[in-house]
Amino acid sequence: MTIDTTRRTILTGGAALGLAAGLVHSATAEGETPAREFEGKTAFVTGGARGIGLGCAEALAARGANILLFDIATQIPEVPYPLASADDLAAAKTAIEAHGVQCLAVTGDVRDFDAQKAAMDRAVSELGGLDFIVANAGITQPGSLEQFSEEELSLIIDINLKGVIKTIQAATPILREQGSGSIVTMASVTGRSGSDRFPVYSATKWAIIGLTKSAALALGPDGVRVNALCPTLCRTPLLENDHVLSNMIPGVTLTWDQFEEVARDIHVLPVGFYGPEYVGSVAAFLCSEASAMISGDVFDIGAGANANFPA
């Protein structure tokens, strides 16, 4: 295998496909201390034990928000790569509290509406409210479309799509009653363009964009904003694992260094995989007053890769 073949294969159908608006350089990403504009606010973050979820939670906490981390923090047997653990969730809580804010770490499954509703009620009673929602929890499944079983289809749709629907459903009464709030959903570059290696994952992320726009229409009159994020190649355990690396190209197992080269080739800016803090900074922006007139929109985070795709 040559790296040029690898790049070509992934560029035409891998997880790296999609639209993006370029890396957002924030105070957090540059190592500076951001303003504490979210003092007294509370954020609910699903899949918050690691990766992009934790990156978003830290960006909000660095700006003063109290955080409720909601994560399954255990292995789902049907998922063929390691999910976050109880130790990951505990470490995430410690990292959040280092920002001088309160943090609740709650173990739960986004497929369980009642568990999400109970956790949000705890956010209100123990942290003082519910202002920001980051619906981030999700799994991925590389493979060809014809190989997915009924059980595999149900699993990814139940977590990636129905889980986000349930997050929004659980938050809606609280946000509507107070007449304010910001919901940030996590789509993907594969929600902007098809992917032959991640076809079902891609379908759920396209659906997240439709859900986001529909929720923005439904909740806008109550003062609640809803927007979606579409990262490209962000370095997280979702991609950095043996299962994904061995299924990106049929019959080939990529090394991480090869995948990093692919990322550098795809991104227009001179970067490879970027850190979750760049996604977190955009999520924080969408929760801020600076974005008060933005709802129903989709923000691509892709180091300029979106310049290669139609508007």
Active site residues: 201
Find how far residue 111's CA is from the centre of its chain: 16
DSSP run (H or E) holding 13: none
Alpha carbons 1 and 116: distance in angstroms, whole number: 46
**CA angle at residue 295 from 291 to 299, to 5 degrees?**
75
- 141 in helix, strand or coil? coil
Handedness of CA 247, 249, 253, 254 (dihedral sign): negative
Task: Report the DSSP beta bridge partners of residue 69.
Answer: 45, 105
In angstroms, the Cα distances linking 246 to 28, 34, 223, 301 are: 33, 39, 45, 25
What is the residue whose two structure tokens read 């977190």? 280
Are residues 123 and 44 in contact, defined by beta-carbon separation less than 8 angstroms? Answer: yes
Q: What is the Cα gyration radius of the chain? A: 18
Name the percent of the chain in helix, strand, coil, to the closest 5. Answer: 45, 15, 40
Alpha carbons 149 and 176: distance in angstroms, whole number: 39
Q: Which long-range contacts (CB under 8 A, 24 or more apart) does 203-211 make?
A: 204/138, 204/156, 204/157, 204/160, 204/161, 205/160, 205/230, 207/161, 208/160, 208/161, 208/164, 209/298, 211/161, 211/164, 211/165, 211/168, 211/185
